[in-house]
Structure 1
Amino acid sequence: MTWIDLTRTIHAELATWPGDPKPELLPANRIENGDSCNTSFLRLNSHLGTHLDAPYHFEEEGKRLQDLPLDPLLGPATLIDLTHKTSHIDRQDLESQNLQGVQRLLIKTSYGDKLELPEFFEDFIGLAPDAAEYVVEKGITLVGIDYLSIEPFAQPEHHTHHTLLRNEVVIVEGLDLSPLSPGTYEFVCLPLKIKDCDGSPCRAVAKRITGEN
C-alpha cells in the first residue's frame, strides 16, 4: 500500500479563519534577477491549512510546540465517516462508533471539500463539548478533523478546545480526508519544531494497515 497525502496545499486562495491574513510567499532571491539561487519569505498564520494545535494554543501553561511528545503523532489511526451529520458531533455520535482501544481518531465531515474554497463557512461541523469529553474518557491521544477547527464556530468559552488541550490530546485540523474510507491507517503528522509556538502547519500522511478492507 502506498502513502496517501492528507495535507492541504498552502496557497493564497485557501480558506483562513475570519480576520486572518492570507498566506504570502515573498521572493527574497531569484535566479532570474541574477541571484545565485531562489529563496523566499513565507508569511502565514500558525493555524492555516493542515495544522496542529499545541496545548499552549488555549492553555497558558500548556505544552508549547517544541515540547510535544512524538508518540501521539505517529501510529495507527481510525477514520470514522460522519459526513451524514448536519449538526455538530455529540457524545452519542461517537458512542455509536467502535472506538475501543483507539489512540488516534480522524473524523470525516461534510465540510472537508469546502476548505479549498476561499470563503469561510461558519456552519462547519465540529465536536460538541460532550464529544470532546468522550474523546478524553476513551484515552484517545490525537483527534483530527477536515475543516479549520475541531470546535464549532463561536462556541462560548471554547469548551471543546480546553477539554482536549488541557488533557494533552493533540488536535489536527484542516486534514484532507477525502481519499480515505472508514478503517484503520498508519498515520504520521509532523509539525515544524518552533520554539514557544502555539501550533504549526504540518505534513500529514496515511497508509491503510495490511488486512484492512
Structure 2
Amino acid sequence: MKLYDLTHRLNNESPVYPGISSPQFTATATIEKNGYRETHFRFHSHLGTHIDAPAHMLKDGLFLNEMNIDSFLGQALIISVSSDVQIIGKDILVNYKESISKTDFVLFKTGWSRYWGEEEYFGRFPVLNSEATEYLLSFKLKGIGFDVISVDPMESNDYKNHYSIFEKGLIIIENLVFPESLKEATGEFSCFPLKYEKADGSPVRAIFRVD
C-alpha cells in the first residue's frame, strides 16, 4: 500500500484568494515558557487544500457537516492535463468515459501547483468549459478536484462551474498538489473536513491511497 499526501502545508504565507485576509498561526504557548506548545489559528474556511460545500454558494445547499461522512471518501481517477491547456474540454474527457463511470472523484492534475506562493498562481490556470462540466455531471460522482485555486477562471463573475457542480450536490476540492512520485492514476481518495457548524468549506488533509 502507498499513501500520497495531496495537501499543501499551511502557514502565515499560504496564498489566499484575492480579497481574503491572510491566515494567522500564532504560538500562544512554548516549551520554554509554559512547558507545552499551543498554536492559535485564525483563517478563512477555504484556506489551502480545501473543499467547498454546496452551501458555499447555494442558499439551500448542504453544509459539509450535514453531508454523509462517505461523501469525503471513495475511488478516484486522476486525469493529467498540461498546464498549457487553458480550457479542459469534453473532447479530453470522453477518452476516460469508462474510468469515470467507475469512480467517485475526478481529480485534475495540471502541474499548476508549481506556482503555489507566486503571483502566477492566480493567472490563467486550466479550467473546465461548461460542456466538460456537464459531461462530468452526467456521471454519479461525489466530487471534482483541481490543483488550482478555483474551478472557475479568476475573471469569472457568475461562477458557472461552481453552481453547476453544487446544484448536483457534489463537493469541489481546490488547491490540491500532486507529488512527482505519484505515477498511478487510480486509487482511493479521502478529504475529510473539520466538523464545525454550518461548514461552507474546510481545509482538509487530502490523501490518495494505492494498494
With the length of structure 1 as denominator, give the TM-score of the two structures.
0.89
Figure out how many residues of one structure are paired with residues of the other and give that number.
Answer: 208
AA at the equivalent of 1:199: G
Mapping 1:97-136, distance limit 5 Å:
97-98=96-97, 99-117=100-118, 120-136=121-137
**Is residue 2:166 matched to residue 1:169?**
no
Distance in 1, Cα, partners of 2:120 & 2:108: 22
Structure 2, unaligned runs of 5 or more: none
Tell me, yes or no, if the aligned pair for 1:111 and 1:147 is still in contact at 8 Å: yes
- Which residue is 1:79 aligned to? 78
Output one character per residue of 1:157-196: Cα deviation in whole Å (capped at 9) or x when no partner: 1110000011111111111123433521111111101101
1:93 aligns with 2:95: no
Distance in structure 2 (CA, Å) of the matches to 1:206 and 1:101: 16
Give the distance between the partners of 1:32 and 1:133, measured in 2 at CA: 56
Structure 2 residue 47 is the aligned partner of structure 1 residue 48: yes
**What is the CA–CA distance in structure 1 between the aligned matches of 2:42 and 2:65, rounded to whole Å?**
20
8 A Cα contact 2:184 2:210, kept in partner: no
Indicate the residue corresponding to 1:7 in structure 2.
Answer: 7
| Unpaired runs of at least 5, structure 1 | none
Q: Quote the offset at 1:119 in angstroms.
A: 5.8
1 CA distance for matches of 2:36 and 2:70?
37
- Tell me the amino acid that sits aligned with residue 159 of structure 2: H
Query: For residues 96 and 84 of structure 2, what CA distance do their matches in structure 1 show?
Result: 14
2:68 is equivalent to residue 69 of structure 1:
yes
Separation in 1, partners of 2:104, 2:84: 23
Letter in 1 for 2:55: Y
CA distance in 2, matches of 1:32, 1:119: 40
Q: TM-score, normalised by structure 2?
A: 0.90
Distance, in Å, in 2 between the alignment partners of 1:81 and 1:88 is 13
Residues in 2 aligned to 1:143 and 1:15: alpha-carbon distance in whole angstroms: 21
Aligned pair in 2 of structure 1 residues 122, 23: CA closer, same or farther (>3 Å)? Answer: same
Separation (CA, whole Å) in 2 of partners of 1:66 and 1:47: 15
Q: Which moved more, 1:40-49 or 1:77-86?
A: 77-86
CA contact (8 A) 2:122 2:154 kept: no
C-alpha separation between the residues in 1 aligned to 2:123 and 2:59? Answer: 26
Decide which moves more: 181-190 or 117-126: 117-126
- Larger displacement relative to structure 2 (42-51 or 8-17): 8-17
Shift of 1:129: 2.1
For the 8 Å contact 1:115–1:148, the answer to whether it is kept is no
Query: Partners of 1:194 and 1:162 in 2: how far apart?
Result: 23
Structure 1, 194-203 or 171-180: larger mean CA deviation: 171-180
Percent identity for Structure 1 against Structure 2: 30
C-alpha displacement at 1:85, in angstroms?
Answer: 4.2
Cα deviation, residue 102, structure 1: 2.4
- RMSD value, Cα: 1.8
Question: Aligned residue for 1:31?
Answer: 31
Q: Distance in 2 between matches of 1:143 and 1:208?
A: 19
SS in 1 for 2:41: strand
Is contact 1:17–1:120 with CA below 8 Å preserved after alignment? no
- Among 187, 194, 197, which residue is 1:195 paired with? 197
